[in-house]
Every structure is written in structure tokens, then in C-alpha cells.
Structure 1
Amino acid sequence: MTQPKPRKPRPLGSLLFYFGYFSALLVIGAPMALLSIPLPLRQRFSLLNIYNRFVLFWLRITCGIEYRFSGLENLASPPYVMVANHQSEWETIILHTLRPPLCTVLKQELLQIPIFGWGLRLIKPIPLDRSQPAKMLRKVLKVGGERLDEGLSVLIFPEGTRVPPGKRKPFSKSAAMIACKAGVPIIPVAHNGGEHWDPKSWIKLSGTLSLRIGKPINTQGRRADEVMAEAEQWIETQLAEISAVPRPTLATTESDAAPKDATQA
């Protein structure tokens, strides 16, 4: 197996990336959103994913980021609840291109962004109002279950927010609660996207980005906390192998409050 390429800052490439990123939102994103309105949901995803695929292509060209994926065969039998660590915007883009349609739990504010938010509304997300935390979990459980009943898969980031490389937050068990109630498996996903796409910096880092998809975790007849613990352990084990920045063990983060809601992309 070839060794991953080292990370290097790409300031000029990052400028070019963002120029194409925002230009494509107008040139590709807006027309695709309009054209997809009368289409069935699965065709909407295919059309809107043209923009996502361009962003990933352009990121590789301008910033020298290569991708190493494994476990794609584990996405063969939807519906399921996908859970992933959350570090950057990269994973919210790439995961929608792997096995659409995929309904994401996300911040309600994202739906207000011109063009971008319009497209999100067309693919049946599960928006959360952070000003009403008491209602968030109930909404995720209700709407998430409805999406699964429709045969759609659901994406949840159980850390509840973006967590930088080298940091850790306990996982909320809401994803497992939805999956256990619906009797569908959980698909765990681990990646090191934040080591190349830092949400707090406009400069991207070149190198090899890894994403691993685990085997489906059975939920039938099991408790949600047991299922979530298995998914979290798998993700942490993979991150220990692919991350350049070590993460603390769960024992060192027990003092942190666990997320009360499911996730916010």
C-alpha cells in the first residue's frame, strides 16, 4: 500500500478553490435546484449532487487533496442510519455522493442561506431549531423515523457539532434510538477531513484524506446505548489509525457534557 502524501498548506490553491466553489454555486447550484423541483426525490439528489461532485473534483485539483476510501460495499442495502465524526464541511459533501438519497440532520439556519439553503430544502433534511433544545430530540426521533419508513437513509453526526482534530466529544445516542426503533442498521463512518479542511481557516492542506465505512451494526433487539457504544468504539479505533493528530481517550472527556440533541451539520 502506498504511503499517504504529507500535508502541506496551499494558500494559492485555496483561493482558487473558493473562487470556483462560490462561482459554481451560482452557475451550477442555482440552475440544478430549479431544474430539480418537479423531479422525484431520488432524481433531485442525482441532479443536485452535480454541484457536490464538482466541489470535490475542484478541491483535488486546486489543493492537491487525494482521497483514500474503504468499505464502500457496506452501503449496499439502505435504509440505514449513518453516523460519522464531524470535523469539517468536507464530510457533509462527500457522504451525500456515496449512496443517495441521504437525509441529514442539520442546523435550521442552513436553510436560510440563499441558493445553498434552497437546494437543501429540496432533499428532505431534518432541520433543528437550537433555540428550542427541549424539542430537538423529539423532532429528530419523529422525523428521522418517518424518513426511514419512506425507505430513505438518515445521516447524523452524534458529536452534535464540529470537533477539531485532536479533540473529542461523547456521542449522543439519538442516532441509535432512531435505528433501534425502526429496526435498521447503523453504518459507522470515520474520516480525517478536518486535517485538510479546517473550518477555522481558509487555507486547505494538501495530502491524502482517508474515509472508512464500517460494516452495518445490527440494532434489532438491542439497547440504544449498547449500539451507540459499539459504533463510537469502531469510529475511535479507525481514527487512531488514520489521524495525524492523536485524539484523547473517552476517559479524559467524561467531564464534558454529552450532546443533548442528535447533531447539527
Structure 2
Amino acid sequence: MLVAFLRSVLFYAGYGLSVIVWGIVILVAAPWLEFPQRFRLVTLWNHFSLRWCRLACGVHYRVEGLQNLPTHGCVVVANHQSSWETIFLATLFPRLCVLLKRELLRIPFFGWALKMLNPIAIDRGNPRAALRQVIESGVQRLASDCSVLIFPEGTRVDAGEPLRFSRSAAQLAIQAGVEIVCVAHDAGKCWPARRFLKTPGVINVVVSAPLPSAGSDAGRLTRQAQDWIEQQLERFATQG
């Protein structure tokens, strides 16, 4: 326990310093760059954070299904267990727009840099307006060949807890006429939500084959995505 605590302290020291330093770099450089170059600049920090977590805390990961990654914009649906996947997924998809609560953009340095990635920042206190914004802004992002990341649970859910998916991702995919690509992971076992300690181990990640939205409805498409992710989580649990 003491070793895990010290490793976590080391991780957060480097992590926090990197947020400040890289946030300043991004704020200075990003306004002069087009979005593709800006995205690559910002996500250099994501790559650093994943490597630093591996070195400081012994958290590794393995990915299945890389052949399923599309070459065009899609709606990315992932389960939400920790902060790890928000960092990782931006390294997996080359042009990714994240749906998030607008309060995150107010965090000094981190939120300011995050704003440079043109996220869809919603007010969760107004669900009807939030859904309208997801559809309108999401269609615009997808039309510019960006992928849109949605965590349909709406908040972080501890590993082992049942999933409850909203239909917003499916509604967006149908409205925009694009596919859904699901990503399942068990990051919560190494980087638990709302907990300080990081646990050494290997995070499993698997990418689904694209789910077509044409001819489907939001309820059925949501069930498909949720069923697939739940099956992968069950498989991870049996693997240990």
C-alpha cells in the first residue's frame, strides 16, 4: 500500500506539472494552427500522460480490434470508469471531438487547453437543451470528418456496476448518417474513479466493428452498443 501511495504521489506530481507546462504551450501555439495540427499538438500531452502512468504506476494497456478503426468520422461510444479513457481515446482516433460537461472548461490550464479541441460542452442541468446541442453540434463536427466521443452513461461508473446508456449517441449517429464504433475497457481496475491510488496492471481495450445506423432506430442501436460493451466487460472479468 505504501509503495502504491508513493508511486501515485510521483505520478500526480509529474501529471500536474505537465498540465501547467503543456497548457501554457498550447495556449500560445494552438491559436495559430489549423485544427488537425492543433489536435496533434494537444494530444502529445495525452501520449506523455499514458507513458508517465506506465513508468510511475506500472499501468499498461493492450488493445484489440485496431483493424476496426474507421478512416472517416463516426460516433465513438465508450464506457466510462475513470479519467484514463478520456486521455487514451484521443490517441486512438486522429480527429476526436468530446462531449463533456461545460464546467470542465473552467479548470485552469487543463480546461483552457481542452477548449482548443473544439469539444461539445453541454449544460447537464438542462437535459432537453443539452440533447439539442449534442445533435446540432455533433452533426457539424461529423460533417467536418471529426469523430464524436460520447460516454452514454453520462458520468463515471465504477467497475462492476450496471450500465445505463442514454440514446443520445444513437440519435446523433442516425441524424448524421454515420456509424457507431464502440470501445470497451476496464480502466477502473487500475485507475479507479474518485480515488487517489493507482494500481499496477494491464488495462484491456477492445474496439468493435462499426455498427451501421442506416435503417435502425435509436433504441435498438443503443441496445446493440450496450450489449456489446457489457459482453466485453464480462469477458475481461473472466480473464482476471
TM-score by length of 2: 0.95
Q: Indicate whether 1:227 and 2:221 are aligned.
A: yes
What does residue 235 of structure 2 align with? 241
Give 2:27's aligned amino acid: A
Q: What is the rounded CA distance, in whole Å, between the counterparts of 1:179 and 1:186 in structure 2?
A: 7
The alpha carbon displacement at 1:100 in A equals: 2.0
Query: Alignment partner for residue 71 of structure 1, among 54, 65, 71?
Result: 65
Q: Indicate whether 1:87 and 2:81 are aligned.
A: yes
* Contact 2:84 2:187 (C-alpha < 8 Å) held by counterparts: yes
Cα deviation, 1:180-221, whole Å, max 9, x if unaligned, reads 111110001100011111122110000111111100001112
Q: Describe the SS at the equivalent of 1:77.
A: coil
Query: Alignment partner for residue 143 of structure 1, among 120, 134, 137?
Result: 137
* Contact 1:29 1:51 (C-alpha < 8 Å) held by counterparts: no
Q: Percent identity?
A: 44
Q: What is the rounded CA distance, in whole Å, between the counterparts of 1:41 and 1:186 in structure 2?
A: 23
Q: Per the alignment, do residues 38 and 15 of structure 1 end up closer, same or farther by CA in structure 2, a change over 3 Å counting? A: same
Q: Indicate whether 1:107 and 2:101 are aligned.
A: yes
What does residue 214 of structure 1 align with? 208
The alpha carbon displacement at 1:125 in A equals: 0.3
Equivalent positions of 1:6-85 (< 5 A) are 10-85=4-79
Q: What is the rounded CA distance, in whole Å, between the counterparts of 2:229 and 2:120 in structure 1?
A: 23
The alpha carbon displacement at 1:11 in A equals: 1.3
RMSD over aligned Cα, in angstroms? 1.7
Q: Per the alignment, do residues 181 and 49 of structure 1 end up closer, same or farther by CA in structure 2, a change over 3 Å counting? A: same
The alpha carbon displacement at 1:9 in A equals: 7.2
Runs of 5+ consecutive residues of structure 1 not aligned to the other structure:
1-7, 247-265
TM-score by length of 1: 0.86
Q: Indicate whether 1:204 and 2:164 are aligned.
A: no
Count of residues in Structure 1 that have an aligned counterpart in Structure 2: 239
* Contact 1:165 1:245 (C-alpha < 8 Å) held by counterparts: no
Which structure has greater helix proportion?
2
* Contact 1:192 1:209 (C-alpha < 8 Å) held by counterparts: yes
What does residue 187 of structure 1 align with? 181
What does residue 152 of structure 1 align with? 146
Q: Per the alignment, do residues 59 and 129 of structure 1 end up closer, same or farther by CA in structure 2, a change over 3 Å counting? A: same
Q: Describe the SS at the equivalent of 1:67.
A: strand
Runs of 5+ consecutive residues of structure 2 not aligned to the other structure:
none
Q: Indicate whether 1:164 and 2:132 are aligned.
A: no
Q: What is the rounded CA distance, in whole Å, between the counterparts of 1:135 and 1:11 in structure 2?
A: 42
The alpha carbon displacement at 1:111 in A equals: 0.5
Q: Indicate whether 1:124 and 2:129 are aligned.
A: no
